Structure 1
Amino acid sequence: MTAAIPADAFEHGDERRYRRGCRCKKCRAGANSANLRRRYLRQTGRSTLRSPNAAADHVLKLRTAGLDDKTIKAQAEVCCDVLYRIMRRAGDIHIDTERRILNVPIPAPSGGPTRSRAYVDGLGTRRRLQALVAAGWYPAELARRLDKDRENLGQLLNGKRGDRVALYQAEEVRALYAELHGQKPENQGLSGYYVQRARQMAAARGWATPDYWDDDDFDNPDFQPAIDDLAVKRDDLAAVRRAEIEHLEQFNLSEHEIANRLGMAYTTVRNIVLEIRTGQRRVRPREGAAA
């Protein structure tokens, strides 16, 4: 169980010090004054209790700004149990507790990376990573750039709705997305094989590429990219790929170079080049047809 805040943490005259055992004249007067105030509020039809929502929302803003929970508790003069009950939004809180939390100032941005381990919703982090994979950034490469092991990245990438991440992790992923989302991975030294695997992985899971997102949409749980509306049919995709390969072959690029540029498997490129040169098209089985 979390230890309560000791009496010495409060000034004489504060009823909280009185409740913790101090019976000096100032503390007795403070307790009497607080009791009279509560009685007055009850008699006039007003409550001393408030919904925890305003306080919880303010704590989220403080965490996002980089304050850790230890600092928030110290400045708001609340113990762990109270703070975490507020964050669970489990029951009403006293108006004085709400006032002290709302009075904790939100710090100005420091301009540097945060190391805060305060937790925030993981939705935006997960979506940004998934968009990068859909663009061809292989998860192992993302893990390397974030200086994380693959298992840790997998947890961030494949989390479920409601999962939370540390604030510093969310900021690291946000910065990585800002750096990579406009770049082609094959132009940054990533093998075409792994680029293709990343895109296939994303397509199989229904992850949208960066083209489907505005930056504000990542953290909006009500937004869903309409990827089904713009899905490319198999035959249309094959025609586009064939035209690209035919165009690149005119520049005497090797099949390996074409595969790397387009993020396609080498064998696929080789077969299409063979079709172009011989004029004989392969007979491909229909989807769902028996082998």
Structure 2
Amino acid sequence: MTQQTAPDHGTQSRYRHHGCRCEVCVDANRAYHRNRAAAIKAGAWQPYVDAEPVRQHILLLQEEGFSVSRIARLSGGSDWDIQRFIRACKGRGRKRNTTEALAARILAIKPGEMTPAMVSAIGSNRRIEALCALGWPVSHTAAHMGWSHKNLHRIRQQQVVRIDSAQAVSAAYEGLRAKRPARNGVGQGASNRVRNMARARNWAPPKYWDERPGAIDDPYFTSEYGLTKADRNAEEARWLVTTAGLPRTEVAARLGMTFGEVDEALAYAAAA
């Protein structure tokens, strides 16, 4: 079971739902009740607002890579508070309303202004591959990071990774790229094997990425490292026909190829 994150000290939620009786939480609870009493007396007590805009904002934050726990930490709420906006929990239905204060804190979280908990794994994978192209086996890269090779291989299977994991891979990449594997504990045979594997799979070395600033982390950038002209024509023709849905005559005109050359490129792509 995932351990829930308690809200920060100095919040009424921590006092009420987590039993904290430290001085700042006690003060926060007293302040809440003072404000509540004053608002009721003035006829202005409206503690709850519609939860739906908050739910939609939480869903947007999740799409941008923010975990429930991170949203909870940033808003001063708990994991339980955030989870109940998006789904029923422990027999209780999804939130239909919420306090104005919690809603305001959640809505104040802006994806473009705060670091998400998760990022695309493509940059991490490309860095691992680039080190392989230099002769660094994944197991040695993992050891340099203080990780097990299983943990690093797991990243290879993921679409997104925790940002701290991505930062650890990036640090290893910068730390190893200028070193020679043979002088740092990698046997020549192991180094040659991983280098040959990288070459067979067209994994680009660091130099390739250095010449294309920002491309290594760009999920929309397609590496053409190691591809022949036939490979590139085949991939472009395949994409235009199968994804873009263009007729082969138009594909031929776009690529400056004959109709027969387009057919050859498509056959080449199918066989690859």
TM-score between the two structures when normalised by the length of structure 1:
0.49
CA distance in 2, matches of 1:82, 1:100: 12
Does residue 1:139 correspond to 2:170, yes or no?
A: no
Closer/same/farther in 2, CA of residues 207 and 98 from structure 1, 3 Å limit:
farther
Closer/same/farther in 2, CA of residues 205 and 184 from structure 1, 3 Å limit:
same
Does residue 1:173 correspond to 2:177, yes or no?
A: no
For residue 164 of structure 1, what is the aligned residue in structure 2? Answer: 161
Percent identical residues: 21
For residue 37 of structure 2, what is the aligned residue in structure 1? Answer: 25
For residue 182 of structure 1, what is the aligned residue in structure 2? Answer: 178
TM-superposed deviation, 1:48: 7.8
For residue 105 of structure 2, what is the aligned residue in structure 1? Answer: 100
Closer/same/farther in 2, CA of residues 13 and 30 from structure 1, 3 Å limit:
farther
Closer/same/farther in 2, CA of residues 91 and 184 from structure 1, 3 Å limit:
farther
Contact 2:122 2:217 in 1 (8 A): yes
Per-residue Cα deviation, 1:117-148 (whole angstroms, up to 9, x for no partner): x5444332222112111221112221221122
Per-residue Cα deviation, 1:227-266 (whole angstroms, up to 9, x for no partner): 25358x9xxxxxxxxxxxxxxxxxxxxxxxxxxxxxxxxx
TM-superposed deviation, 1:99: 3.5
Gaps of at least 5 residues in structure 2 are 8-12, 17-24, 88-93, 112-116, 232-272
For residue 223 of structure 1, what is the aligned residue in structure 2? Answer: 221
Contact 2:57 2:107 in 1 (8 A): no
TM-superposed deviation, 1:174: 0.9
CA distance in 1, matches of 2:172, 2:118: 19
CA distance in 2, matches of 1:173, 1:163: 13
Closer/same/farther in 2, CA of residues 179 and 24 from structure 1, 3 Å limit:
closer
Does residue 1:127 correspond to 2:143, yes or no?
A: no
Secondary structure at 1:52 match in 2: helix
Contact 2:72 2:81 in 1 (8 A): no
Secondary structure at 2:144 match in 1: helix
Matched residue type, 1:134: A
Secondary structure at 2:227 match in 1: helix
Closer/same/farther in 2, CA of residues 27 and 207 from structure 1, 3 Å limit:
farther
For residue 207 of structure 1, what is the aligned residue in structure 2? Answer: 203
For residue 189 of structure 2, what is the aligned residue in structure 1? Answer: 193
Closer/same/farther in 2, CA of residues 193 and 163 from structure 1, 3 Å limit:
same
Matched residue type, 2:160: D
For residue 110 of structure 1, what is the aligned residue in structure 2? Answer: none
Give matches, 1:1-291, under 5 Å.
Answer: 5=13, 8=16, 11=29, 25-26=37-38, 28=40, 32-34=44-46, 49=53, 51-52=56-57, 56=61, 69=69, 73-74=72-73, 76-83=75-82, 97=102, 99-101=104-106, 118-156=117-155, 158-160=156-158, 162-165=159-162, 167-213=163-209, 214=212, 216-229=214-227
TM-score between the two structures when normalised by the length of structure 2:
0.52
Contact 1:60 1:120 in 2 (8 A): yes
Contact 1:132 1:181 in 2 (8 A): yes
TM-superposed deviation, 1:86: 8.0
